[in-house]
Amino acid sequence: MTQRVRTRTVTALMAMIATGLAAGLVPGTATAGGTPAGGHGGVRFATFNASLNRGVDGGLVADLSTLGDRQAANVAEIIQRVRPDVLLINEFDHDAEGRAVELFQRNYLSRGQGGARPIHYPYRFSAPSNTGVPSGHDLNRDGTVGGPDDAYGFGLFPGQYGMAVYSRHPIDRRSLRTFQTFRWRDMPGALLPDDPDTPEPADWYSPEALADVRLSSKSHWDVPVRIGRQTVHLLASHPTPPVFDGPEDRNGRRNHDEIRFWADYVTPARSGYIYDDRGRRGGLRPGARFVIAGDLNSDPYDGDSIPGSAQQLTGHPLVDDRRPPTSAGGPAASQRQGGANLTHEGDSRYDTADFADGTPGNLRVDYLLPSRRLRTAGSGVFWPTPDDPLFRLVGDYDPALPGGFPTSDHRLVWLDLRC
């Protein structure tokens, strides 16, 4: 699911600065092709809502079983040009056998795309998602039970809009944790939705539904990656868009609390209530190194999310967001498209999603947020400008294309860390 929220354009001076950054005029940023400069000497993390979702169960496996899916080839080429060491892909349909994850590696990443070099990830992880899993309750209160809006997470079938992790470094599977079944009501002070037509608080869901409703619209994962002698916890999620609901704001409230989950998880004094899918309680240990990754569907300044939602992480004392990833393509798109972008408060250099097909404009919704114990060596957003040969991989919104874009309405975000 993509978010429909908003962000403003920057001044011509800031656009010039951003263009210089993306052109590689400042060390440790990017080359003229919109890709990160080589020789970073660290570990490159990336997150990418790649829109590798399909409308029918098994559709992604079918598409990846061939060599001719144009969108998958474009996704693979972007990954091959950025060359992350650890990669989270959002909106990657999950199947129980893990066939899609393996097929994307074999038929697309392992084959050079568009002149880029192949890339191999020996370590991969995927797990079930709440999307499309029937809840057995009338969660949207339309008088019927069933369908995508009554699932634990919106989806036409179990696993739609799932996630996948690809890594060149070993994944510590024994310590890996998933939080798919954590119940929303078990979060202290949860922003549970309220029926505005009754005097009782937090009563949108029936007591029976509330006993089952899960916090994660997809899942939350703690994926420990072994990098030399260190472990870096990749904290992966994809909160629901804060829209597509009513005055009860059930999606906006859920988005806020899905983001809050990680803010509590990395704070030992606040994580005692958390339990994982195996019953283990608590969050990260004091001093643990982490990177919070994913499409959080919340811009810090613009859009429809509850104010302060993203700031639960960007302003967290253990999180480093002092130098957010930038691109030249974001300001260029904002100026080119106008509309809602002209009213945004946020800086379009930081935008990561092109929502020109709707009302919100372009936004920063995709994040890589490292712990302050990690040293950042460089970062960026893969968003080439129209005069760049690689612009063909991102394009502008075109209703004639499936999904509206050559690849996705989101951009890959990368971050180099000295581990």
The residue type of 270 is: R
Residue of 242, 237, 354 whose CA lies nearest to 298:
242
The first and second tokens of residue 32, run together, are: 């003229």
Higher local confidence (pLDDT), 66 or 15: 66
Whether 3 is in a domain gets the answer no
DSSP assignment of 72-128 equals HHHHHHHHHHH--SEEEEEEE---TT-HHHHHHIIIIITS--TTPPP---SEEE---
Identify the band that residue 356 occupies on the pLDDT scale cut at 50, 70 and 90.
Answer: confident
The first and second tokens of residue 295, run together, are: 């499409």
Percentage of the chain beyond pLDDT 70 is 90
The first and second tokens of residue 201, run together, are: 């608080």
Model's pTM, two decimal places? 0.92
Whether 216 is in a domain gets the answer yes
Range of 112's domain?
12-418
- Give the CATH number, domain containing residue 282: 3.60.10.10
DSSP class of 30: B
Percentage of the chain beyond pLDDT 90 is 88
Count of domains observed in the chain? 1
Whether 225 is in a domain gets the answer yes
Whether 1 is in a domain gets the answer no
SS (H, E, C) 278-333: CCCECCCCCCCEEEEEEECCCCCCCCCCCCCCCHHHHCCCCECCCCCCCCCHHHHH
Whether 2 is in a domain gets the answer no
- Mean pLDDT of all residues in 18-37: 40
Whether 44 is in a domain gets the answer yes
Mean pLDDT across the chain: 91
DSSP assignment of 330-390 equals HHHHHHHH-GGGGG--S-GGG--B--TTSSS--B--EEEEEBTTSEEEEEEE----TTSGG
- Inter-residue contact 309 to 239 (CB < 8 Å): no
pLDDT at 313 over 80: yes
Identify the band that residue 215 occupies on the pLDDT scale cut at 50, 70 and 90.
Answer: very high
pLDDT at 7 over 90: no
